[in-house]
Structure 1
Amino acid sequence: MALTTSAHNKTKAWFQGMISHAFITIGGQNITVQPYTLTLTGDVITLQFYLAETVSGTMTRVQVIDKDGAVWDDQPDSITKPALNGLLITFKYTLTRV
């Protein structure tokens, strides 16, 4: 039995409401970043975090944290961010009925 349209929409809204912040490891230190944008378009939740031009170094990990303090998503990476401009980190999640 598949989810109803109502249940599907409520699940997307719940997912959207669960995100709290991100821990970003840059230059060997963890910084906390609040969501810059969090949008729901159709079945796609787009979550963005912004690092200002004042932040620089090698970013090695981004962890999305939920409102309960648990790691929701954990992305190891290696991006060198100069202090010349900002950086927008984007995650996209798609919730589909099967």
Structure 2
Amino acid sequence: MAISTTGHTKMKNWLKGLIKEGRYIINNSTKTTPIFSIKESGDTITFYLYFNDGVSGSITKFQLVDQDDAIFDDQPDSITKSGINGLLVAFKYTIKRV
């Protein structure tokens, strides 16, 4: 038996409400950043973190943090961000009914 349309919608809403903020490691220091935006398209939910031109340095990790301050997703990276341009980071999840 498959999950109902209502159950599927509630799972997507649960995920959107679970994520509290972003976290990143820059120049070996951990910083937090608010969620810039959340987009939903069908079964896909995308969380965006935006770093303006005031953020510069060597970024080695991007994370999403849940409401309990636990790491929900942890993405190692290696970016040298200059203070000239912004940076948009996306975390994309698909919740499908099967």
Query: Is 1:91 equivalent to 2:94 in the alignment?
Result: no
TM-score relative to the length of structure 2: 0.95
SS in 1 for 2:45: strand
- Structure 1 residue ranges (4+ consecutive) displaced by more than 2 angstroms after TM superposition: none
Alignment of 1:58-69 (within 5 A): 58-69=58-69
State percent identity of aligned pairs. 44
Instruction: Show structure 1 runs of 5+ residues with no match.
Output: none
Per-residue Cα deviation, 1:20-76 (whole angstroms, up to 9, x for no partner):
001100111111000000122211101101111011111101110011111110001
Report the number of matched residues. Answer: 98
Instruction: Show structure 2 runs of 5+ residues with no match.
Output: none
TM-score relative to the length of structure 1: 0.95
Partner amino acid, structure 2, of 1:15: L
Alignment of 1:73-88 (within 5 A): 73-88=73-88
